[in-house]
Amino acid sequence: MTPLEYDRAFIWHPYASLKDPPPVRLVTSANGVNLTLDDGRELVDAVSSWWCVAHGHNHPAIVEAIRRQSERLCHVMFGGFTHEPAVELAQRLAGIAPKGLNRVFFADSGSISVEVACKMAIQYHVSLGHPERNRLVALKGAYHGDTSLCMALSDPDGMHTLFKGIMTRHFFAEKPDAPFPGSAVAPVRTAPEQPSVFIASLQRIFDEHPGEIAAVICEPVFQAANAMNFYSPDCLAEMRRVCDENGALLIFDEIAAGFHRTGPLWAHQSKTSGNRATTPDIMTVGKALTGGHITLAAAIASERVAETISSGRPSAFMHGPTYMANPLACAAALASLELFAHSDYAAKVVRIERAFRDGLAPLRGLANVKDVRVLGAAAVVEVERLPAHRDIERVIDGHGVWLRPFSNYIYAMPPLVSDEGTISRIVEALSDLARSEPGPAPADSEFHE
Ligand SMILES: Cc1ncc(COP(=O)(O)O)c(C=O)c1O
């Protein structure tokens, strides 16, 4: 049997049925923005392999860092031990995190870092003598991961509805209704300028559940996997205000949007209309942290949160994944942060944004296109209905561009090192898809990212 036949016989792929599954392609190597397939063809990875390969695949500096580290120490438990890559990485993360966030808890995936952040918020209130403050507020349209607490904080009508019955009930504010200024390429949305409906709904939750809420969690500015929604940074300032007035913590999940995806290093650094900076109490990072070379994430907490937990009972923070702070991953992240520090990605992303805007503008007004929006290195064409699978495959193979549309979204989030030629190939592929015949109404299994 060929590797693909073995794959078909033994492997379960994410968000996929075993019955009549869409094809999988066999990748043999990768370099820069390109994936190489077993038959020698190359595909531009226009989704940065689920948004993490910021510097391009197999970046020599990151590969070398992993190789060097592998000769010294591949893994050691983090309970009772530490190691230099973790120490150095924590220092660097604290240096680039928002002011006041300097306590780093490493995790082995984005979802786990979100679980950790939420547990920190709950344990913080336990330590203050308020165990009844154990509910969280998330946003409709949110996605925070696939583990059970993360599912319970992701859009209740999104990809995890199936598991509603077993999820702890938390509270959901409305999807932020004020778009990120200037993100609409085809301004068909008639959303208000002010974050009115959203803030009112958030305020209502606090009014109706006084003393119950530990924290509000959101993906700042860019709700990715469940909504592909770019919203105004003013909403962040309002969340901060409501949290402060009600004694709740604020958690920013920067896993998808961080590391320059929307422009600045952190998405929450986008300017509000009042030019205010909004700072969370806890922030999660993952995905591009290692440049997409090996899994690593972190929850970074303020000293106040860490001190309060450490002064409570129990005084230990109750979490500890086996592979936390894996030395290979920390070494990769250090090399990745070095690249972020010296590559002027903010300027690169401005160029990518402009190319997407200009290239996708002609899609406005197409019958199947509901909205076209671009923010930083993320471009979204929202359609009434996705094209049929065969059309998606035709576009991927025909243009040599790997895209993975889901729900109603045809989108690209390419590596931040993509040059003009790469972006224009991606634009052509997106445009071809947007102009294709709408396919049948999606089955449930086709909803997901
Ligand atoms: C905003 C956000 N948070 C958390 C996660 C979960 O990260 P992971 O897939 O590494 O568990 C994702 C993944 O897409 C995400 O987009």
Domain boundaries, the chain: 3-55+344-446, 64-342
CATH classification number, 64-342, choose in 1.10.287.3510, 3.90.76.10, 3.40.640.10, 3.10.129.10 = 3.40.640.10
pLDDT tens column, 288-316: 999 999 999 999 999 999 999 999 999 99
The pLDDT of residue 196 is: 86
Tell me, yes or no, if 99 is annotated catalytic.
Answer: no
Tell me, yes or no, if 345 is annotated catalytic.
Answer: no
Ligand 1 binding pocket mutation candidate from 111, 228, 253, 409 (most atoms within 8 A of CB):
111
In this model, does residue 193 exceed pLDDT 60? no
Ligand 1 binding pocket mutation candidate from 228, 255, 282, 294 (most atoms within 8 A of CB):
255
Q: Is-same-fold flag (3-55+344-446; 64-342)?
A: no
Q: What is the CATH number of domain 3-55+344-446?
A: 3.90.1150.10
Tell me, using a 6 A CB cutoff, whether residue 373 lines ligand 1: no
How many angstroms does the Cα of residue 72 sit away from the middle of ligand 1? 30
In this model, does residue 366 exceed pLDDT 50? yes
Catalytic residue from among 140, 175, 287, 348: 287
Tell me, using a 6 A CB cutoff, whether residue 143 lines ligand 1: yes
Average pLDDT, the chain: 94
SS (H, E, C) the chain: CCHHHHHHHHCCCCCCCCCCCCCCCCEEEEEECEEEECCCCEEEECCHHHHCCCCCECCHHHHHHHHHHHCCCCCCCCCCCCCHHHHHHHHHHHHHCCCCEEEEEEECCHHHHHHHHHHHHHHHHHHCCCCCCCEEEEECCCCCCCCHHHHHCCCCCCCCHHHHHHCCCCEEECCCCCECCCCEEECCCCCCCCCHHHHHHHHHHHHHCCCCEEEEEECCCEECCCCCEEECCHHHHHHHHHHHHHCCEEEEECCCCCCCCCCCCCHHHCCCCCCCCCCCCEEEECHHHHCCCCCCEEEEEEHHHHHHHHCCCCCCCCCCCCCCCCHHHHHHHHHHHHHHHHCCHHHHHHHHHHHHHHHHHHHCCCCCEEEEEEECCEEEEEECCCECHHHHHHHHHHHCEECCCECCEEEECCCCCCCHHHHHHHHHHHHHHHHCCECCCCCHHHCCC
Tell me, yes or no, if 143 is annotated catalytic.
Answer: yes
Tell me, using a 6 A CB cutoff, whether residue 155 lines ligand 1: no
pLDDT tens column, 417-441: 999 999 999 999 999 999 999 998 8
Tell me, using a 6 A CB cutoff, whether residue 218 lines ligand 1: no
In this model, does residue 195 exceed pLDDT 70? no
Which ligand 1 atom sits nearest the alpha carbon of residue 145? 6
